[in-house]
Amino acid sequence: MDMSIALILGQDGITNGAIYALLALALVLVFAVTRVIFIQQGEFVAYGALTLAMMQAGTVPATVWLLVAMGVLVTVFDAGAALRAGRHRRAAAVAGWNLIYPLALAAIMAMLPVASLPLLVQVFLTLAIVVPMGPQMYRLMYQPVASAPVLILLIVSVALHIAMVGLGLLFFGAEGQRTPAFSDASFELGTLMVSGQTVWVLVVSALLIGALYQFFERTLYGKALRATAINRVGAQLMGISPALAGKLTFFLAAFIGALSGVLIAPITTIYYDTGFLIALKGFVAAIIGGLASYPIAALGALLVGLLESFSSFWASAYKEVIVFTLIIPVLLWRSLNTGHVEEEE
C-alpha cells in the first residue's frame, strides 16, 4: 500500500464515517430522551433515498400515502380526544398538521412535474414527506407505551423495523436505485481526487452536527430535551411534556435519517433493505459512545468508517466480521470500567 491508496481509503472511510456519525448521534439522542433503541433509523435512510429516486423517476412517491394513512390515524386519536375535551382549536391544529398537510403534499406531488424540478426542491419535498413520519410514529406506536420497560420499547422497534422493510419492498420494489450527484465538480488535493458529493456529505454532516450543538445549548426546546434525557421525572415536574419531547426527538431522528439517505443515494445503490446495515454500523458507533456520549459516538463512527474501508482493502472477505467484532472489546472495556447501573423502572 502506498500513500495515495491510503489517502483514498481514508477519504472513503471518512465519508462513510460522517454518515454513520449522523446516525449514531440520532440513535444516542433517541435513546437518551425516550429509552427507545431506534432500530428503524436505517429505514428512514432508505425511505429518504428511495423517495427522492421515485420523484426523479417521475412517479408519485408511495411514501406520501403512508404519510396520509398515519396522519389519518393520528387525527382520529388526537383530534377525537381534543373534541371530547372541548378544545376545538387544538383539534383543528391536529387535523391541519396530520390530515391537511399530507393531503396537500400528495396534491403537490400529483400536480407538479416533480421530476423536472431543481434537485434542491426535490430534496426539500423528500424531507417534507419522510420526516413527519417520525413524530407520527412516536405518537402512534410509542406514546401509548412510553413508560414501559426498555425491552418492550425494543420489541416495538423491531416490529416497526420489519413492517417498514416490508412496506419499503411494496413501495419501491426489490431493485436498487441511484440518484444523480448534487454536483459533478471534483477537486484535486495533491494525488487525491475528491468528488463533489463527498464534499457535500462532509459539509452537510459538519453543519448538521454544529446545528444540533447550537440547538441543545442555546434553545429552550433543546434544553428541554437535554433535561428529559438527564432526568425524565424531574423534567416532567418542571413542566416539560414527555410526549412533546418524544415527538421532537423522533422528528430530529427522522430528519437526520432521511437527510443521510438523500446524501448517500448518489454514492451508492440503495435498496429497500439497505438502511438496516448502515444503521447497524451507526449503532456500533453509538455503543462505543455507550449510547450516552455524543462526541465519543461521533469519533466511534469515524473509527467504524475507517476500519471498514481499510479492512475492505486488506481482507475484503472478512470486512463485516471485523467491523462488527469491534463491538466486543468495546463492551468488555465498558463493562469493566463503568459501575453497573440499575435501570429505573
Partner 1 sequence: MKLRNTLLAAIGLAFAAGAAQADINVGVVLSATGPAASLGIPEKNTISLLPTTIGGEKVNYIVLDDASDTTTAVKNARKLIDENKVDVLVGSTTSPASLAMIDVVAESRTPMISMAASARIVSPMDDQKRWVFKTPQNDLQMASAIVEHMLANGIKKVAFIGFANAYGEGWHEQFKNLADDKGIQIVANERFNPADTSVTGQALKLMSVKPDAVFIAGSGTPAALPQKSLRERGYKGPIYQTHGVANNDFLRICGKDCEGTLLPVGPVQMARSLPDSHPVKASALKYVEKYEAANGAGSVSSFGAYAWDAGVLLEAAAPVALKNAKPGTAEFRAALRDALEGVKEVAGATGIYTMSAEDHLGLDERSRVMIEIRNGSWSLLK
Beta bridge partners of 169: none
- The nearest distance, CB 113 to partner 1, in angstroms, is 21
Contact call for residue 264 and partner 1 (CB under 8 A)? yes
DSSP letter string, 67-84: HHHHHHHHHHHHHHHHHH
Minimum CB separation from partner 1 for residue 258, in Å?
A: 16
With CB under 8 A as the rule, give the number of residues binding partner 1: 33
Backbone angles phi, psi at 90, to 5 degrees: -60, -45
Strand pairing of 192-195 and 186-189?
antiparallel
The grid coordinates of residue 220 equal 429552550
Q: Which of 8, 92, 119, 327 binds partner 1 (CB under 8 A)?
A: 8
User: CA 160, CA 167: separation in Å to the nearest integer?
Assistant: 10
CA distance 131 to 109: 16
Q: Which residues pair with 177 in a beta bridge?
A: 270
Site string for partner 1, 27-66 (x = CB under 8 A): ----------------------------------------
Residue closer to partner 1, measured from CB, 122 or 312: 312
Considering only 54, 287, 312, 330, the residue that binds partner 1 (CB under 8 A) is 312
Rounded Cα distance, 94 and 132, in Å: 13
The binder of partner 1 chosen from 16, 40, 56, 157 (CB under 8 A): 16
Of the candidates 113, 116, 118, 174, which one interacts with partner 1 according to CB under 8 A?
174
The least distance separating partner 1 from the CB of residue 228, rounded to whole angstroms, comes to 33
Q: Does 189 bind partner 1 (CB under 8 A)?
A: no
Question: Angle, to 10 degrees, between the axis of helix 242-264 and the axis of helix 3-34?
Answer: 160
> Which of 84, 118, 237, 316 lies at the binding interface for partner 1 (CB under 8 A)?
316
Note whether 317 binds partner 1 by CB under 8 A. Answer: yes
**Cβ(91)–Cβ(82) under 8 Å?**
yes
- Are the CB atoms for 324 and 282 separated by under 8 Å? no
- 90 interacts with partner 1 by CB under 8 A: no
Per CB under 8 A, does 267 bind partner 1?
yes
3-state helix, strand, coil in the chain (%, to 5): 75, 5, 20
d(CA 279, CA 148): 24
| Segment interacting with partner 1, rule: CB under 8 A, options 175-183, 243-251, 282-290, 331-339 | 175-183
Residues near 74 by beta carbon (within 8 Å), at least 6 away in sequence = 94, 98, 136, 139, 140
Interacting positions 190-249 with partner 1 (CB under 8 A): 195
Which is nearer to partner 1, 120 or 317 (by Cβ)? 317
- In this structure, what C-alpha cell is assigned to residue 191? 494525488
Of 316 and 337, which has the nearer Cβ to partner 1? 316
Q: Does 172 bind partner 1 (CB under 8 A)?
A: no
* Chain residues in the site for partner 1 (CB under 8 A): 1, 5, 8-9, 12, 15-16, 174-178, 195, 264, 267-269, 271, 273-274, 277-278, 308-314, 316-317, 319-320
